[in-house]
């Protein structure tokens, strides 16, 4: 322990730093040192092994400091990067969109958080907007702070709605978050194994395999463990941007109806325009019974998410709305951000832009990958949710490292680089996209030469 005096002086130093519009060289060195020490001593030294930018021995480049533009950011040394990771899909309207910033600061200047007891108006307004924006009969929402929370709420709703149907089916390669409920749906063994046992009743079937789903639902029914819900990402993000066959999701919808199971779409990553429609399910002309949103839902400014359900499903919470609650979920700042986010998505036609820029980028990335079949096996995507698949982890890591060195951030990390996601803000310019292609081509050239 240190004295309050010393701790106070440190907090004041950091506050002064935050306040500064620019920092000098001495401060830059201090920030780098504090960040490195802090990660090693107080955050988790493991990160220093995994973060690709650190393992390069180029620690200088590894500390981020500010946004540079809507689609780029700057490290502590002032070097700029085009953001093709997009915070794994949180920056759909770009970094610090002025309209979202304004809504949040205006709201902050009036009231930050809600009383918890009175009726908060922005909550009602955002939920009305959501009911009108989302497909099918989706109507009532529960507001949350993160993706994993939106999935938790969905699972609890499904269990309460279908109490006699205890089985929940998820898919292999799925990612739904890491709190216990959502982790039960998440598929990766390494994330689950240390925390067994999982939530009972959750099983996994192969993604994009309708026949396996049908047989599993049949079998569950035969043994009296009926399926109450099927939880899916319409396109799997974290699992490698896996796009199902066109008939898969409509087929799942049909099976759910046949067996009286709820269909939960986790659109935490695919939602809010990412795949070229406001919601990915719209590509297939179907609607889920429960829809999970987060990531870019808060406009890249506020952590925010929502679980939207049909009235029929959501009504299990009518009698006692306190069955499922959260203190911060749907706070006024988050609501202001989410409303501004939807306003911007519509005003700037960003879902359409994701569709056209997605086509442009897919073509450009494929072009850049030409002649490198020995390294890159596939470039795929829908809208601006794209991925490059490499022959192995190591090649993917080399490529992402070179791209990073040349000012383009993509998702490859030391542990998981066989499939690298490319999901820039939907506002990415053609010029920036062109630079990404050139950078990829250059990176592939360098890896070829064994550098
Ligand atoms: C990121 C993600 C989550 C988890 O969101 P968190 O905010 O990290 O909890 C859940 N589902 C999908 C599809 C995601 O991409």
Q: How confident is the model at residue 293 (pLDDT cuts 50, 70, 90)?
A: very high
**Does ligand 1 lie within 6 Å of residue 234's CB atom?**
no
Measured CA to CA in angstroms, residue 120 lies from 106, 126, 131, 146 at distances of 16, 11, 17, 20
How far from chain centre, in Å, is Cα 118?
32
Give the pTM.
0.96
Looking at residue 414, its pLDDT comes to 60
Q: How many CB atoms are located within 10 Å of the residue 240 CB?
A: 17
Domain 98-347: which CATH class? alpha beta
- Give SS3 for 380: strand
- Tokens 């009969």 sit at which residue? 137
Looking at residue 51, its pLDDT comes to 67
Q: What angle do CA 423, 427, 433 make, to 5 degrees?
A: 65
- Give SS3 for 202: strand
Q: Detail the DSSP E strand segments found in 23-108.
A: 64-69, 72-75, 80-83
What atom in ligand 1 is closest to the CA of residue 233? 13
Structure tokens, 381: 């995507």
Give the integer Cα–Cα distance in Å for 418 and 440.
15
**Does ligand 1 lie within 6 Å of residue 148's CB atom?**
yes
Q: How confident is the model at residue 448 (pLDDT cuts 50, 70, 90)?
A: confident
Give the integer Cα–Cα distance in Å for 292 and 287.
12
**Does ligand 1 lie within 6 Å of residue 146's CB atom?**
yes
Q: Which helix (H) or strand (E) holds 227?
A: strand 227-232
Query: Is the model's pLDDT at 265 over the cut of 90?
Result: yes
Radius of gyration of the chain (CA): 23
**Does ligand 1 lie within 6 Å of residue 296's CB atom?**
no
- Tokens 């000098």 sit at which residue? 24
Looking at residue 395, its pLDDT comes to 92
Q: Which pairs from 409-415 meet CB under 8 Å and 24+ separation?
A: 409/73, 409/81, 409/82, 409/83, 409/84, 409/85, 410/84, 410/85, 411/85, 411/88, 412/52, 413/50, 413/51, 413/52, 414/49, 414/50, 414/51, 414/52, 414/55, 415/50
**Does ligand 1 lie within 6 Å of residue 423's CB atom?**
no
**Does ligand 1 lie within 6 Å of residue 294's CB atom?**
yes
Looking at residue 55, its pLDDT comes to 45
Measured CA to CA in angstroms, residue 137 lies from 185, 277, 312, 313, 315 at distances of 25, 18, 9, 10, 13
- Residue 106 Cα, ligand 1 centroid: separation in angstroms? 28
Note the pLDDT tens digit of each residue in 331-373: 999 999 999 999 999 999 999 999 999 999 999 999 999 999 9
| 6 or 45, greater pLDDT | 6
Contact 256, 263 (CB under 8 A): yes
- Residue 335 Cα, ligand 1 centroid: separation in angstroms? 19
- Give SS3 for 307: strand
Q: How confident is the model at residue 318 (pLDDT cuts 50, 70, 90)?
A: very high
Note the pLDDT tens digit of each residue in 10-21: 999 999 999 998
**Does ligand 1 lie within 6 Å of residue 307's CB atom?**
no
What number is the average pLDDT over the span 112-129? 96
- DSSP codes of every residue in 405-451: HTTEE-S-BTTB-SEEEE---TT--HHHHHHHHHHHHHHHHHHHTT-
What atom in ligand 1 is closest to the CA of residue 146? 7
**Does ligand 1 lie within 6 Å of residue 147's CB atom?**
yes
Query: Is the model's pLDDT at 440 over the cut of 80?
Result: yes
Note the pLDDT tens digit of each residue in 29-70: 999 999 999 999 999 988 887 765 444 455 556 899 999 999
Kindly report the average pLDDT of the chain as a whole number: 95
Minimum CA distance residue for ligand 1 atom 11: 176
**Does ligand 1 lie within 6 Å of residue 268's CB atom?**
yes
Minimum CA distance residue for ligand 1 atom 5: 147
Query: Is the model's pLDDT at 451 over the cut of 80?
Result: no
**Does ligand 1 lie within 6 Å of residue 269's CB atom?**
yes
Looking at residue 54, its pLDDT comes to 44
Q: How confident is the model at residue 413 (pLDDT cuts 50, 70, 90)?
A: low
Q: What ranges do the domains of the chain cover?
A: 98-347, 351-377+426-451
**Does ligand 1 lie within 6 Å of residue 183's CB atom?**
no
Give the integer Cα–Cα distance in Å for 160 and 229.
11
- Residue 392 Cα, ligand 1 centroid: separation in angstroms? 25
Pocket test for ligand 1, best of 87, 173, 175, 241 (most atoms within 8 A of CB): 175
Note the pLDDT tens digit of each residue in 187-238: 999 999 999 999 999 999 999 999 999 999 999 999 999 999 999 999 999 9
């Amino acid at each position: 322990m240190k004295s309050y005096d010393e701790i106070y002086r440190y907090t004041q130093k950091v506050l002064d730093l935050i306040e500064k519009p620019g920092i000098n060289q001495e401060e830059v060195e201090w920030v780098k040192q504090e960040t490195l020490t802090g990660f090693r001593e107080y955050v988790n030294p493991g990160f220093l092994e995994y973060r690709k930018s650190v393992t390069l021995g180029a620690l200088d480049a590894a500390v981020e400091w500010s946004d540079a533009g809507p689609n780029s950011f700057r490290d502590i040394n002032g070097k700029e990067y085009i953001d093709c990771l997009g915070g794994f899909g949180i920056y759909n309207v770009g970094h610090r969109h002025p309209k979202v910033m304004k809504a949040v600061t205006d709201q902050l200047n009036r009231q930050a958080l809600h009383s918890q007891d009175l009726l908060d108006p922005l909550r009602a307004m955002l939920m009305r907007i959501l009911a009108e924006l989302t497909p099918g009969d989706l109507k009532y929402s529960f507001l949350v702070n993160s993706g994993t929370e939106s999935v938790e709420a969905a699972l609890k709703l499904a269990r309460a709605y279908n109490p006699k149907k205890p089985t929940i089916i998820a898919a292999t390669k799925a990612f739904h978050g890491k709190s216990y409920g959502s982790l039960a749906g998440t598929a990766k063994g390494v994330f689950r194994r240390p925390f067994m046992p999982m939530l009972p009743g959750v099983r996994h079937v192969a993604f994009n395999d309708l026949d396996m789903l049908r047989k599993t639902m049949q079998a569950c029914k035969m043994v009296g463990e009926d399926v109450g819900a099927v939880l899916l990402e319409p396109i799997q993000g974290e699992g490698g941007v896996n796009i199902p066959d066109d008939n898969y999701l409509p087929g799942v919808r049909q099976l759910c109806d046949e067996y009286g199971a709820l269909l939960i779409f986790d659109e935490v990553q695919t939602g809010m325009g990412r795949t070229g429609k406001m919601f990915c399910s719209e590509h297939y002309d179907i609607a889920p019974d429960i829809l999970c949103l987060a990531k870019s839902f808060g406009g890249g400014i506020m952590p925010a998410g929502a679980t939207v359900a049909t009235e029929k499903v959501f009504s299990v919470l009518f009698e006692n709305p306190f069955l499922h609650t959260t203190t911060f979920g749907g706070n006024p700042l988050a609501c202001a951000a989410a409303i501004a986010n939807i306003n911007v998505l519509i005003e700037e036609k960003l879902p359409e832009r994701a569709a056209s820029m997605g086509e442009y980028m897919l073509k450009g990335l494929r072009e850049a990958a030409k002649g490198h079949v020995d390294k890159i096996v596939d470039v795929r995507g829908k809208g601006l949710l794209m991925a490059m698949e490499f022959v192995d982890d190591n090649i993917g890591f080399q490529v992402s490292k070179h791209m990073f060195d040349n000012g383009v951030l993509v998702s490859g990390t030391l542990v998981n680089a066989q499939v690298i996601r490319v999901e820039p803000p939907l506002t990415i310019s053609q010029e920036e996209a062109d630079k990404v292609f050139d950078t990829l081509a250059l990176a592939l050239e360098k890896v070829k030469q064994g550098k």
